[in-house]
Structure 1
């Protein structure tokens, strides 16, 4: 079996590659920049250069591929639009996969994408799901709703650095998952033909509101958060302004996603049947408490080490001071 991972350098994609290699699969990665993907080659993956937005570059990467895992998406720092990558790019990839005879196309969407037709990324994900289902390709769709990793920059780091933590509107409770656990589902699905033609929501053990995450971070860090509440109306105004300018289209599309995370509609799902379908044990799924505990333990230990080294250097400087009078 030849496994191709698209979006392999991303937060989720790299975990899929790592998991696939650890499970003994031969993994090939479609990447735009070979230089930025060097670490994947060092892990043991094969790199093929290609670009979703340039369909003529996809054929070589798809030669002999039996299973494709599509975890690619635009990043906030990407110069290209959501429509260019997550819609036109995916159409290019799906069409090229069908022409190449790919036997299983595993696509990552977002939970609840059909509920937000006015949010560009959600609407595009939903339309891509429909296009894939009608393409004739054997497929599986996985729909996570959020990753633990994104909570570090949003909550943990601002609290540690005594910076403001932003909370918006009637915040949505979200059942986040660790990307390593999401990767477990992707790789487990590679060898399970019974999941073909099906869509699965992926949710963590518990849904968390921003206030609950903040309280957890405060307890584990021993520091109090500075909470700043952002009115959703202000973000809507900012979106309306930026979408009038070409340079602001990507920003406007990103701001639109705040409608999802401030809607008050929980993003969660029952997982009993999903674990059974993929042959996985729910007890092995990491909890947010355990993930954050490990993060803060490592960070606080490092801060103590840095403080110790700083104090040691200060003591050495005092001993060597040329301004001290001789006895």
Structure 2
């Protein structure tokens, strides 16, 4: 089976690419910049230049492809808006896939998207789910809600460096999952006919609050966190300001996502059907605690090695001074 992966340079997309290659799939990646995606080629993937917002570039990318895994989304720094990429671009891709006779289409949405119609990205994901379901393609929709990888920059690094950890009051506990594990579900869905037409949550075993995550990081790092709580009103004001300028529209749309976590309602779901349909073992999935423990163990070991090297260099310098005193 030949698979086209869209969004392959992203946090999730690169893990899907790696997983598909490891399982022996012929992998092609749709990329806007081959130079920035060179690492994917080194892994063994074929790169094809194209852009979702330019439908004329899609037929060549789909030639000879039997399946698509769509993990693309607009980034806050993109020149194109969320509407252009996540709606217009995805509609272009689905229509091109239908015309090309693609056998399987795996689409990444967001958990509980339909509950937040006033949040641009959530509204678009909901509309795309409906559009895909009505397209006639053999689809599977996967709905994660948070990546463990994002916790490193948000919590782990600030705590290690003695910087403030910024959190909003009453944030929704979130069932984070490792992108490596999420990639397993995406590639597995290609092989399981029972997943066709299904919309499945892909979330961790427990929803974690910000305070709980901070406590885990403190325990594993041996350091006290400096926590700064930001009122949701400040975020809302920042969003309104960002909406005034075209080059910050994407940032404004991302800030709107804070309305999701500000509800305080847990972002989680039962994974019973997902594991049953796809035949994966929940015991093989990475937990938040084990993920952070592995990270802190690795980083603290490196810090000790750096400290040891610095101490040895200092001692060597002192010995040199004693051996060759200056007069």
* Pairs within 5 Å for 1:24-173: 24-173=24-173
**Cα distance change on mapping 1:37 and 1:248 into 2, 3 Å:** closer
Instruction: Confirm or deny that 1:239 pairs with 2:239.
Output: yes
Q: Which residue number in structure 1 is paired with residue 201 of structure 2? A: 201
Q: Normalising by structure 2, report the TM-score.
A: 0.97
| 1:191 shift after superposition | 1.1
| 1:325 shift after superposition | 4.9
Give the stretch that moved more between structures: 36-45 or 137-146: 36-45
**Structure 2: any 5+ residue segments left out of the alignment?**
none
In 2: Cα distance, 1:23 partner to 1:242 partner: 43
| 1:314 shift after superposition | 1.5
| 1:168 shift after superposition | 0.5
SS in 2 for 1:321: helix
**1:248-299: CA deviation from partner (whole Å, max 9, x where unpaired):** 2111111101111121011111111210100111110111111000000000
In 2: Cα distance, 1:128 partner to 1:180 partner: 25
**1:150-171: CA deviation from partner (whole Å, max 9, x where unpaired):** 0000000000000000110211
Q: Say whether the 8 Å CA contact 2:77–2:250 is kept in structure 1.
A: no
**Structure 1: any 5+ residue segments left out of the alignment?**
none
Q: Which residue number in structure 2 is paired with residue 285 of structure 1? A: 285
Q: Which residue number in structure 2 is paired with residue 188 of structure 1? A: 188
In 2: Cα distance, 1:72 partner to 1:325 partner: 64
Give the stretch that moved more between structures: 150-159 or 133-142: 133-142
Q: Say whether the 8 Å CA contact 2:75–2:250 is kept in structure 1.
A: no
In 2: Cα distance, 1:229 partner to 1:115 partner: 26
| 1:229 shift after superposition | 0.5
In 2: Cα distance, 1:126 partner to 1:141 partner: 11
Q: Which residue number in structure 1 is paired with residue 272 of structure 2? A: 272
Q: Which residue number in structure 2 is paired with residue 253 of structure 1? A: 253
Q: Normalising by structure 1, report the TM-score.
A: 0.97
| 1:138 shift after superposition | 1.4
In 2: Cα distance, 1:68 partner to 1:129 partner: 15
| 1:41 shift after superposition | 1.3
| 1:319 shift after superposition | 2.6
| 1:204 shift after superposition | 0.5
Instruction: Confirm or deny that 1:11 pairs with 2:6.
Output: no
| 1:207 shift after superposition | 0.8
In 1: Cα distance, 2:181 partner to 2:250 partner: 30
In 2: Cα distance, 1:69 partner to 1:53 partner: 17
SS in 1 for 2:316: helix
| 1:203 shift after superposition | 1.2
| 1:77 shift after superposition | 2.4
| 1:247 shift after superposition | 2.3
Aligned CA-pair RMSD: 1.3
| 1:318 shift after superposition | 2.2
Give the stretch that moved more between structures: 308-317 or 162-171: 308-317
* Pairs within 5 Å for 1:204-223: 204-223=204-223
In 1: Cα distance, 2:145 partner to 2:246 partner: 29
Q: Between Structure 1 and Structure 2, how many residues are aligned? A: 326
| 1:79 shift after superposition | 2.3
